[in-house]
């Protein structure tokens, strides 16, 4: 044991390997777990913020359009001002909604890197960047009614515990994350 001289931690003699294992178990692993939990929490929060601000922006867009028509009918400068304020707030909220969706996607990319470092597969994305409506895992939008379920590729079934044994396809094993210049996009496997 020439490479591992004993170190003393208090009155208990220990080796560097034991010290490294204790540091990993007591400090690094709990911090890593907290980091993953925090990223999952904020990924979900950013997705909800994006959904709510986009919905509010569309409501303000409708209100601004109605106020603009009312202003022309009544000839009131105050109503025109209110219509302009609604339209400006709509644009700001739509921009913030896009920012929140990008933050959610960024958290998903960070989560994928952390999971890969732990030897796990990528997490499915929450926000679908290909739709302006923000279709996500909560919307229930899946394959069209009556469509045949996708079969799981042979290598992907091992990534989802119990999927191969149960003989079923899972959402985790039927999505491949592809990183492009616009961020991470989900594409069907196969």
Question: Residues 144-169: pLDDT tens digits?
Answer: 444 443 433 343 333 434 334 444 33
Across the range 42-49, mean pLDDT stands at 94
Among 24-28, 135-139, 150-154, the range with the most confident prediction by mean pLDDT is 24-28
Residue 113, φ and ψ in degrees, nearest 5: -65, -40
Across the range 42-68, mean pLDDT stands at 95
158 Cβ contact partners less than 8 Å away, ≥ 6 residues apart: 164
- Dist. CA 102–CA 2, nearest whole Å: 52
Running DSSP on this structure, what letter comes out for residue 172?
Answer: G
112 pLDDT higher than 80: yes
Helix (H) or strand (E) segment spanning residue 107: helix 77-117
pLDDT at 177: 35
For residues 122 and 163, the model is more confident at 122
Instruction: Let me know if 12 is exposed, middle or buried by CB neighbors in 10 A (0-12, 13-18, 19+).
Output: exposed
User: For the chain, what is the mean pLDDT?
Assistant: 72
| For the chain, percent of residues with pLDDT exceeding 90 | 37
pLDDT at 182: 44
Across the range 170-190, mean pLDDT stands at 39
178 pLDDT higher than 60: no
HSE at residue 120, side-chain half, CA atoms within 13 A, is 13
Contact predicate 127/50, CB 8 Å? yes
pLDDT at 98: 96
pLDDT at 101: 94
Contact predicate 180/169, CB 8 Å? no
Least confident of 70-79, 88-97, 170-179: 170-179
pLDDT at 129: 52
Confidence of residue 18 (pLDDT cuts 50, 70, 90): confident
């Amino acid at each position: 044991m020439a490479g591992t001289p004993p170190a003393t931690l208090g009155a208990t003699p220990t080796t560097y390997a034991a010290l490294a294992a204790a540091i990993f178990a007591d400090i690094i692993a709990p911090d890593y777990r907290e980091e993953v939990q925090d990223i999952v929490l904020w990924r979900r929060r950013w997705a909800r913020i994006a959904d709510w601000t986009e919905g509010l922006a569309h409501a303000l867009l409708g209100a601004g359009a109605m106020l603009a028509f009312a202003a022309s009918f009544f000839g009131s400068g105050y109503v025109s001002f209110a219509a302009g304020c609604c339209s400006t707030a709509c644009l700001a909220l739509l921009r913030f909604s896009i920012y929140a969706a990008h933050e959610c996607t960024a958290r998903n990319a960070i989560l994928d890197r952390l999971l890969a470092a732990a030897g796990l597969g990528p997490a499915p994305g929450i926000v679908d960047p290909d739709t302006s409506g923000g279709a996500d895992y909560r919307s229930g939008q899946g394959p069209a009614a009556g469509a045949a379920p996708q079969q799981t590729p042979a290598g992907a079934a091992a990534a989802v515990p119990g999927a191969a044994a149960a003989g079923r396809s899972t959402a985790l094993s039927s999505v491949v994350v592809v990183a492009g210049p616009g961020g991470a996009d989900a594409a069907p496997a196969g």
